[in-house]
Chains A and B, each alone.
Chain A
Amino acid sequence: MKKRLLTALISCSAIVLAGTAMAADTIKIGFNIPMTGDIPKVGEASKFSAEMLKEDINGAGGLEVGGKKYMLEFIYEDNEAKAESAVTTALKLIEKDEVLAMIGPNSSKQAVPAGQVANDNETVMVTPWSTNPDTTLDRPWVFRAAFLDPFQGPVAVNFAVKTFNAKTSAVLYDLENDYSKGLAEIFKNVFEEKMGAGSVVAFESHGTKDQDFSAQLTKIVAANPDFIFLPDNYNQVALIVKQAHQQGFKGQFMGSDAWGSSELMTLCGDDCKGLYFSTHYAAAGATGATKEFIDRYTEKYGYTPDDVAALTWDATRIVLKAVQDTGGLSGKLRKDRKAVREAMAAIPSFDGITGGMKFDEQGDPIKCAVVVKISNEGTFEFAESVCPE
């Protein structure tokens, strides 16, 4: 009886030891993404893109770090597109899942608070899509793959003034969304600086869950702007553009990168055709590695990847490059996380599928933006590329 107990004990500890030995050969990366909630397509695109990258690397025998091959393990957690859930998700990934680094959250609304958690707990976080400056500001552990709103705002202003020959504009934004509000304010300042005080003839807001915008649009239409700047998520864009047309608005719209989901045209249909928005890359007419990514993604999942998919691909590759640059993992989590951060900060420049990027001291990439036009077939066609001076 005693002997049997001993055998059981030994086999148990053998399993535990084998478990830890196996765990040492995998690298865990956490994904803090919105798979339900307001913008589920964003989470889906991130997950699909990451899965494709993981299959590539694991299919080739794993990621080589310091002469040793590691298999990748990606953990996808749903943050429901809510700020508070993004915080708990980040904590769960850091403490319970013990990930080496985190990708996401995507929207600034979740990335700004989650960035604080990552920084406090000394874990590298790379947000693919967040453009609000606060996400990485004074947070050495937080990085991003997207450009910033202080850059995106002027891009929209200059493009609209030049293309629409606009003298006046109106803005409608989401009051509850850090991204939308921040970008709207930047746009207003830049536009008024360029076209004179009072050239933003209406500056209106709405709530995230709103479905009726008739009152705001009545005000905007009465002010008769040359175009409406709409830094909103794609689901609201579809409703707002339709209702503006029902209120008799015939002018142009200028959008921001939150428009660029593959679901925009399913929801918006004919109303959105011919409109412009600034974004991270244009799928139609891409070349080289970008085209290869688009073709593979389209074949695998049946639709053209949006900018979140491309940025997640880049963000994940940057993290994996940093992991490789550490020159070898010790297996001690805190030490390895620190090594990854050092390596992240030391990456001088990176050639991604959304363009080349250099990182500044805040962990923000310096990269170009593109303006795309929604064609009559509903594809996002390249219109203009704007690079930082």
Chain B
Amino acid sequence: MFDDFNLIQNLINALQWGSFYALIALGYTMVYGVLVLINFAHGDVFMVGAYIAFFVASFVLSVLGLPGWAAFIITIPATMILTSMVGVSLERIAYRPLRRKGAHRLYVVITALMCGLILEHANLAIFGASRKAFPPLIEEHVYHLGGVTFTNLKIIVICAAIMSFLTLQWIVTKTKVGMAMRAISYDKFAVPLMGIPIDQIIVTTFILGSGFAGLAGVLFAMSYPILEPYMGALIGWKAFIAAVVGGIGDIRGAFLGGFLLGAVEILVVAFFPSSYRDLIAFSVLLVILSLKPTGLFGIAKTTKI
């Protein structure tokens, strides 16, 4: 029953599913890398991204009356920009005041959790509990290659995830902004003395992280076209686990961790009864973490007290 085609088919499934984890995990890891803050609202920023995509796409399709491909081209950048504004607002309203007052990290993490819940419940209160059906933007084609079946959408998703990773990796390692980010993560107190505008760099981090969450939102809504207010909670949570397994703070780690979690979840179902999925998947991750507690790419840091 499990011939080669099935394995390839499952690898494609895993790449698609892992792409979403990877795109969301990138946001967690960037904010953590710069601020040492676990931004638990990030999964809900992703959910907001999917909703923004829904409204932008509906607007372009019905009010402007443009065809699907045009809506696709407009929706992606519009959603990324609007979602990054949501992320930046969170930073300005919730995190920055706490940082100014020198609050302990624990309080900021709790604030992030609360922000996530506020986003979820604001959505529930404003748009109601009914699910939204995302309009189809591009015509889906099903391709058969040997015994393997895939759609053009799957290819788009996987390519988008890989390109996002390469872009972010380039920004962080090759540009001045990226150098500043790494510097802040290295020593938050010395960096302002060197004339680096720390707030601007932090805002840039949030723009990038939330922007890619917005991209994940658009692609997710196209692949799984049913939106609901709690859709970001579980996937955000798992993406966080993916980021930690990859080594939180490292972009390569988030990317690989996302694909690793996607692959483990899909392959467990492929080779074991599907009722054991989460049990086996998370046991595997636990083993990885106990062998390498800092994650695949993490470096052990000593905390100064």
A residues engaging B (CB < 8 A)?
35-37, 40-41, 44, 175, 204-207, 209, 211-212, 214-216, 218-219, 221-223, 235, 238-239, 242, 245-248, 263, 266-267, 269
Contact = CB atoms under 8 A, between A and B. Distances in A.
Contacts of B128: 40
A36 B270 contact: no
Contacts of B230: 209
Given A214-B16, A219-B270, A245-B142, 18 more contacts: A35-B129, A209-B234, A214-B266, A215-B13, A215-B14, A215-B266, A215-B269, A218-B10, A218-B270, A219-B269, A222-B1, A222-B6, A235-B131, A235-B228, A238-B226, A242-B225, A246-B140, A267-B133
Chain B: interface residue count, which band? Answer: 35 or more
Interface in B222-261: 224-226, 228, 230-231, 234-235
A235 B226 contact: yes
| Chain A interface main SS type | helix
Contact of A212 (B17, B142, B231, B274): B17
A6 to B, nearest CB: 48
Interface centre among A175, A204, A218 (most CB of B within 10 A): A218
B99 to A, nearest CB: 33
Contact of B275 (A175, A209, A219, A223): A175
Contacts of B2: 222
B199 interface: no
A267 B134 CA distance: 8
7 contacts: A204-B273, A205-B273, A211-B224, A212-B224, A219-B274, A221-B149, A245-B142
B149 A41 contact: no
Contacts of B226: 211, 235, 238-239, 267
B124 interface: yes
B62 interface: no
Contacts of B130: 40-41, 44, 263
Nearest to B275: A205
Interface in B254-282: 265-267, 269-270, 273-275, 277-278
A137 B205 CA distance: 57
B270 A246 contact: no
Interface in B8-39: 9-10, 13-14, 16-17
B167 to A, nearest CB: 25
B124 A205 contact: no
A246 B234 CA distance: 24
A204 B277 CA distance: 11
B174 interface: no
B144 interface: yes
B13 A214 contact: yes
A211 B126 CA distance: 23
B17 A214 contact: yes
Contacts of B14: 215
Contacts of A246: 140, 142, 149, 151
A221 B144 CA distance: 13
Contacts of A239: 224, 226
A218 B13 contact: yes
Interface string B103-139: 0000000000000000000001000111101000000
A36 B124 contact: yes
Given A207-B278, A242-B225, A248-B142, A37 B129 contact: yes
A44 B274 CA distance: 33
Contacts of A247: 149
A216 B6 CA distance: 12
A219 B2 CA distance: 9
A186 B2 CA distance: 28
B133 A215 contact: no
Name the residue among A40, A212, A245 with the largest chain B CB count within 10 angstroms.
A212
Contact of A211 (B1, B231, B274): B231
Contacts of B273: 204-205
B227 to A, nearest CB: 10
A37 B277 CA distance: 24
A263 B131 contact: yes
Contact of A40 (B6, B129, B151): B129
List 7 A-B pairs, minimum CB-CB distance, nearest first.
A40-B129, A215-B269, A214-B13, A248-B149, A36-B129, A215-B266, A211-B224
Given A248-B142, A263-B131, A206 B266 contact: no
Contacts of A44: 130
A19 B89 CA distance: 50
